[in-house]
Amino acid sequence: MMALMLGLGLLAPAEFAPQWHEVAPVSVSQRADGVWFVDFGAAWYGTIELRAEVAAPVELMIAVGEKLSAPDALDTKPPGSVIYRQTPLTLAPGQAAHRPTWAPIARHNDPAAVHVPAGWPEITVFRAAEIRGWPGQLVPAQVRLIALSVPFDAAQSSFDCSDPALTAVWELCRHTIEATTAFSVYIDGERERIPYEADAYINQLSHYAVQAEYETARRTFRHLLAKPTWPTEWALHMPLVAHADWQATGSAALADENWDALVGKLLRGKARADGLLVAGGIIDWPAGERDGFGCGLKDESDGRQIGPMVNSVVNAFGLAALAAMAELADATGRGDQAIEFRAQYARALPAFQAAFYDPARGVYIDGEGCDHASLHANMLPLAFGLVPEEARRGVAEFVVSRGMACSVYGAQYLLDGLFAAGRETDAVALLRSDGPRSWVNMLAQGTTMTMEAWNAPAKPNLTWNHAWGAVPANAISRWVLGVQPVAPGYRVVSVAPRLGDLVWVRGRVPTPHGAIDVEVDRRRGLFRIVAPPGVEVLTPTAPVGGPVKVQLERRATAW
């Protein structure tokens, strides 16, 4: 296990640069056609290395890919941007180890794309390989996947529960978080290798949920300040990223050092007199995942964003960003600005309710000039605490009625809204679902990292290595296991598990001070917490929906 340093127990930033590591195959077999098939069990960013000494040159053809067409064969025509690549490799005399040279993908020349460090070999992402022309027997010791990722301590997090499918979903997401850090910042997947703000926020929440490692998110944040992307709501995610970092670590330095840039991300120049933002938004992506949002009204300034121009989605994010910045202003000693942000929030919130809440139906509409009520118009106010108490039940009922009518990105706010509204049974049911729009179905399709979309019909150019799909990693730690900071930096922690209809759960959640272990078993009336020293733990008065006794224990060391 990694040796932790002094202070908050964090590794120094330099120690979280990407590093090479070896992945051994889980199986090596030869097909009837003579091709050797090597399965590493899960996809990584990296390259393949073959180990053999030859007396004369041997010409091979190496193919790698993410998707299998059979237990011992790669899918040579996978959907969308799912990887299948092949390249020749010469085994040269005098060498003990041999790696192919991967040609860069043209899309990676986009100025917004990130690259492997200068002087390092090009990499790709794959789970398995086919080797044609290998001389003789290929044994497992002769082949390795050389993966590139930020160091990861597997002992810092865990999850298991009474539903093996949900346990498998958590592991899918955990592996995705570990395996997608090859470029030292969060990227949107192998097709583009571009950081995006909304992707970064979800990636950050899930990364913090499985690893006490904060530098990758911070590097991504700084990168996005220098190279922002285009969607309206993506800019509004930046205060949420800085706020999440402060909540997790107790340090507001990230916000303090970039304050003026963060203030600009509030987009207050787009606000009208009542405080509401006038701007179309991306709403959800791909476009087919918007649940009919907007009555067809368009923002003609950008065909990728839609109206109404005063709409509930953009303004829900605007209010959430204002609330985050008010707290960050206090944390960084900017009391006057905290007062101003709260005043702006107080002015805009009643306008939000007046413009978007339809009391006759008990739901939020998409925006001015539109009577349509989408899932998105309702799940976001629920997730951000904007729904008045008296309206919460009706809004939550509507959200439940729409099911998973959003993308894998939107699922973050759908689950947050349902859990926050006390609808944990419905939220856990979505986490466990095996329907076509589910993480269980991602696994059934054969992916070993989370997908960019639920399936290829939803997004024909989808990737199979997109960490914004790893929402369950943070939903499980924050809501199912119920571990959330009450005070920034986890000095005071709430542990309030929400099991839905699960019978038992157990897991580990990392904090800067060490791990918090949670075990709940309804059969035995058990609610056990093991916390690191110096962390105050708050538990609900009526935990986990039944009469169970809370056992709070302390470990002698952080981990």
What would the pLDDT profile of 299-327 be if each residue is shown by its tens digit?
A: 655 668 998 999 999 999 999 999 999 99
Residues linked to residue 22 through DSSP beta bridges, in sequence order: 146
Q: Examine the pLDDT at 135 and tell me if it is beyond 80.
A: yes
Residue-wise burial string across 24-60, b where 16 or more C-beta atoms lie within 10 A, e elsewhere: ebeebeeeeeebbbbbbebbbbbbbebebeeeeebeb
Count of other CB atoms within 10 angstroms of residue 87: 15
pLDDT in tens, 513-554: 999 999 999 999 999 999 999 999 999 865 555 556 788 888
pLDDT value at position 556? 76
More confident residue, 482 or 298: 482
pLDDT value at position 16? 79
Q: What is the mean pLDDT of residues 367-396?
A: 97
d(CA 363, CA 374): 9
Least confident residue range of 23-27, 141-145, 301-305 = 301-305
Q: Examine the pLDDT at 487 and tell me if it is beyond 90.
A: yes
Q: What is the mean pLDDT of residues 62-86?
A: 98
> What average pLDDT is seen over the chain?
94
pLDDT value at position 13? 57
d(CA 66, CA 190): 11
For the CA atoms of 6, 12, 18, 23, the dihedral, rounded to the nearest 10 degrees, stands at -10
Tokens 């019909």 label which residue? 457
- pLDDT interval class at 464 (50, 70, 90): very high
- pLDDT interval class at 162 (50, 70, 90): very high
Q: What is the mean pLDDT of residues 438-450?
A: 98
Q: Examine the pLDDT at 10 and tell me if it is beyond 60.
A: no
CA angle 373, 397, 415 (to 5 degrees): 90
Q: What is the mean pLDDT of residues 325-352?
A: 98
- pLDDT interval class at 291 (50, 70, 90): very high
Residue 419 three-state SS? helix
pLDDT value at position 546? 57
Q: What is the mean pLDDT of residues 208-228?
A: 98
Helices (H), 250-311: 253-257, 259-264
CATH 1.50.10.10 domain extents, the chain = 232-407
CATH of domain 232-407: 1.50.10.10
Q: Please give the CATH topology (third level) of the domain spanning 20-148.
A: Jelly Rolls (2.60.120)
Q: Give the rounded distance of the alpha carbon of 201 from its chain centre.
A: 7
d(CA 185, CA 199): 11
d(CA 409, CA 173): 14
d(CA 299, CA 305): 6
Tokens 């791909």 label which residue? 286
- pLDDT interval class at 9 (50, 70, 90): very low
Q: What is the pTM of this model?
A: 0.95
Residue-wise burial string across 360-395, b where 16 or more C-beta atoms lie within 10 A, e elsewhere: eebbbbbbbebebbbbbbbbbbbbbebbeeebbeeb
Residue 148 exposed, middle or buried by CB count within 10 Å (0-12, 13-18, 19+): buried
Asked whether 148 and 20 are in contact (CB, 8 A), the reply is yes
pLDDT value at position 300? 58
Q: Examine the pLDDT at 7 and tell me if it is beyond 50.
A: no
d(CA 142, CA 163): 38
pLDDT value at position 552? 87
- pLDDT interval class at 283 (50, 70, 90): very high
Least confident residue range of 105-109, 253-257, 486-490, 527-531 = 105-109
Q: What is the mean pLDDT of residues 155-183?
A: 98
Least confident residue range of 47-51, 61-65, 159-163, 303-307 = 303-307
Q: Examine the pLDDT at 298 and tell me if it is beyond 90.
A: no
Number of continuous H segments (helices) and E segments (strands) in the chain: 14, 20
DSSP state of 338: H
pLDDT value at position 1? 29
CATH 2.60.120.260 domain extents, the chain = 20-148
Q: What is the mean pLDDT of residues 396-410?
A: 98
d(CA 450, CA 185): 17
Share of the chain above pLDDT 70, in %: 95
Q: Examine the pLDDT at 232 and tell me if it is beyond 60.
A: yes
pLDDT value at position 558? 73
